[in-house]
């Protein structure tokens, strides 16, 4: 029920890579449907949801081959995020959720251009707004795009849905004794170089007092629980 909602408005950052599920490339329809169902459930309960989706399942600007200019690689990555945005929109609408896609690079034939005040109106009307093309500028990550849009839209929290359960004290893939940290300060992340997200993104969140929750998008129910304010999900950085 809406009275129990912790958050009024949230920024959900979905990793593109996570959307590929077991496919190794592109989008796994099963993952996409599961994500859409949970986002839809939260939206139907009255949480205003803004989504930034990455593009790493198709292309990652920062790790393109030598000889491809970084700026060009980043533009290709931005286009990749738009493909994910359109597929997520379609999956959400299948769940009966009203959505709008806005892109930071104009491609009017397929989506609205990003207009801040219009995005806010859409959210107020209960539409899930999906932002494509990152910030529209190279050299920024989609995490940074999500932090920037989050600040512009005055969200209560930045939800980072990833492939891991949260932030660990060391790499859990290499160290079986790695411990998940439940609560951290922005400065812990910056000083200890915990690689939660890039420094530009974390700095934007810190400067705008937006708490960050890092959680696993593959755990069933997690997205919905996180969006609805369950503090037991993942790691909270504030």
Q: HEC profile for the chain?
A: CHHHCCCCEEEEEECHHHHCHHHCCCCCHHHHHHHHHHHHHHHHCCCEEEEEECCCCCCCHHHCCCCCCHHHHHHHHHHHHHHHHHHHHHHHHHCCCCEEEEECCCCCCCCEECCHHHHHHHHHCCCEEEEECCCCCCCCCHHHHHHHHHHHCCCCEEEEEECCCCEECCCCCCCCCCCEECEECHHHHHHCCCCCCCHHHHHHHHHCCCCEEEEECCCCCHHHHHHCCCCCCCEEEC
Q: Does 181 bind ligand GTP (CB under 6 A)?
A: no
Stretch that binds ligand GTP, among 46-54, 110-118, 206-214, 228-236 (CB under 6 A): 110-118
CB closer to ligand GTP out of 127 and 206:
127
Q: Does 121 bind ligand GTP (CB under 6 A)?
A: yes
Q: Does 109 bind ligand GTP (CB under 6 A)?
A: yes
Residue from the set 17, 28, 93, 112 that interacts with ligand GTP by CB under 6 A: 112
**Distance of alpha carbon 70 from alpha carbon 46, whole angstroms:** 40
**Distance of alpha carbon 180 from alpha carbon 219, whole angstroms:** 15
Query: HSE on the CB side for 221, CA within 13 Å?
Result: 3
Q: How far is the CB of 124 from ligand GTP (least distance, A)?
A: 9
Residue from the set 49, 87, 111, 161 that interacts with ligand GTP by CB under 6 A: 111
CB closer to ligand GTP out of 153 and 181:
153
CB closer to ligand GTP out of 100 and 206:
100
Q: How far is the CB of 127 from ligand GTP (least distance, A)?
A: 8
Residue from the set 108, 117, 174, 195 that interacts with ligand GTP by CB under 6 A: 108
CB closer to ligand GTP out of 66 and 109:
109
Q: Does 93 bind ligand GTP (CB under 6 A)?
A: no
Q: How far is the CB of 101 from ligand GTP (least distance, A)?
A: 7
x/- contact string, 124-143, with ligand GTP (CB under 6 A)?
-x------------------
Q: How far is the CB of 108 from ligand GTP (least distance, A)?
A: 4
User: How many beta carbons lie within 10 A of that of residue 67, not counting itself?
Assistant: 5
CB closer to ligand GTP out of 112 and 230:
112
Q: Does 80 bind ligand GTP (CB under 6 A)?
A: no
**Measured distance between the N- and C-terminal CA atoms of the chain, rounded to whole angstroms:** 26
Point out which residues bind ligand GTP (CB under 6 A). Answer: 100, 108-113, 121, 125
């Amino acid at each position: 029920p809406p009275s129990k909602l912790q958050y009024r408005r949230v920024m959900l950052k979905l990793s593109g890579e996570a959307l590929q599920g077991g496919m190794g490339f592109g989008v796994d329809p099963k993952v996409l449907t599961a994500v859409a169902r949970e986002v839809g459930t939260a939206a139907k309960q009255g949480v205003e949801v803004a989504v930034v989706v990455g593009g790493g399942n198709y292309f990652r600007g920062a790790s393109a081959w030598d000889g491809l200019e970084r700026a060009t690689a980043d533009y290709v990555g931005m286009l990749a995020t738009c493909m994910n945005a359109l597929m997520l929109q379609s999956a959400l609408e299948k769940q009966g959720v009203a959505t709008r896609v806005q892109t930071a690079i104009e491609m009017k034939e397929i989506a609205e251009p990003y207009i801040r005040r219009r995005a806010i109106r859409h959210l107020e009307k209960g539409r899930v707004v999906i932002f494509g093309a990152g910030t529209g500028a190279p050299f920024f990550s989609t995490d940074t795009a999500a932090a920037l849009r989050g600040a512009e839209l005055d969200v209560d929290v930045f939800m980072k849905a990833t492939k891991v359960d949260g932030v660990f004290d060391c790499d859990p893939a290499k160290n079986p004794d790695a411990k998940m940290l439940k609560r951290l300060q922005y400065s812990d992340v910056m000083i200890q170089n915990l690689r939660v997200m890039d420094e530009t993104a974390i700095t934007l969140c810190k400067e705008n007092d937006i708490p960050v929750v890092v959680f696993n998008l593959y755990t069933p129910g997690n997205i919905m629980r996180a969006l609805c304010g369950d503090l037991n999900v993942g790691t909270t950085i504030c």
